[in-house]
Amino acid sequence: KNDDVRLVPERSYDDNLDLLPPGNASADARNASQRAASDRIAREAIESIGSDPLAMWASIGWILTVLLGWMAGANAIESKCTACQAVAHELTSRMEKELPRNALDMRHRLDAKGQRYGPVIDYKTSELRALELLDGLCDTMHHYVLRKREKKPEGEESKSSRGWTKEHSAKVGMSKAEKKEHGRRLFNYCAGLVEEFEDDIADQIRKELTAEGVEAAICQTLAHDCPTRSTSPNVEL
């Protein structure tokens, strides 16, 4: 009997989500932090393996579980349409709360006559505005929960009887741990959605996407998470 066998302690996928960075980081920063977290997990596993084959296979299984959990990401969420509508609603809310901003003066160079020259960019069509609207967007997903809907909205293809709603409007009892878990799920969905379509969403914003057109642009045209015939929001706010 080998008394030196050391098994890697079990960790759930949710436990390892704590290793991920906050949602207000850029997509590139989140990706870099995810890779760093993955490397750290692997190092911990390798250090605990030693030369024991049983520990090695236990570690491999655990690492695969973590990686598969990350890869599942946005696809493993119930009621995708209302999840997407929640993201769209928060982006719409940000757009509606925007204050007027001056044009971006990029005339930082001087010509031969000492006159400044360069472009003057309308803030509404600037890349800066798009980045500011999307930055930290997914943090707001922690205020949503998944609860049973009284009736299935017209045009909803999902078989789910539940939908995402703002926590303050939920009328069913739910523990703090459950609310946290629901917010975490929707945060992960949002992060995956923004990462996959960030350039497309930013491009739409620069093309003067209106607040009224956000849901259709993201949930129908880009993500295809809502049927195009669905014309009214299904998410309860």
Condensed to tens digits (0 to 9), the pLDDT of residues 50-76 reads: 556 666 666 676 566 545 554 555 457
CB 123 within 8 A of CB 129: yes
Give pLDDT, residue 147. 86
Give pLDDT, residue 116. 78
Give pLDDT, residue 95. 95
Amino acid found at 29: A
List, in order, residues 6 or more apart from 38 with CB less than 8 Å away. 66, 67, 70
Q: Which two tokens stand for residue 214?
A: 């956000």
Name the percent of the chain lying above pLDDT 90.
36
CB 236 within 8 A of CB 165: yes
Distance CA 145, CA 152 (A): 17
More confident call, 20 vs 193: 193
Write the DSSP symbol of residue 54.
H
What distances in angstroms separate CA 40 from CA 25, 36, 165, one per listed residue? Answer: 20, 6, 35
Give pLDDT, residue 114. 74
Give pLDDT, residue 136. 96
Write the DSSP symbol of residue 217.
I
CB 132 within 8 A of CB 21: no
| Residue carrying structure tokens 């160079």 | 109
Distance CA 109, CA 119 (A): 10
Distance CA 12, CA 7 (A): 15
Distance CA 49, CA 56 (A): 5
On the question of pLDDT at 80 being above 90, the answer is: yes
Q: Which two tokens stand for residue 68?
A: 């598969």
Q: Which of 78-106 are b and which e, b meaning 16 or more Cβ less than 10 Å from the residue's Cβ?
A: bbbbbbbbbbbbbbbebbeeeeeeeeeee
Amino acid found at 56: M
Which pTM does this prediction carry?
Answer: 0.60
Give pLDDT, residue 34. 59
Distance CA 219, CA 227 (A): 8
Condensed to tens digits (0 to 9), the pLDDT of residues 165-181 reads: 987 655 557 888 998 99
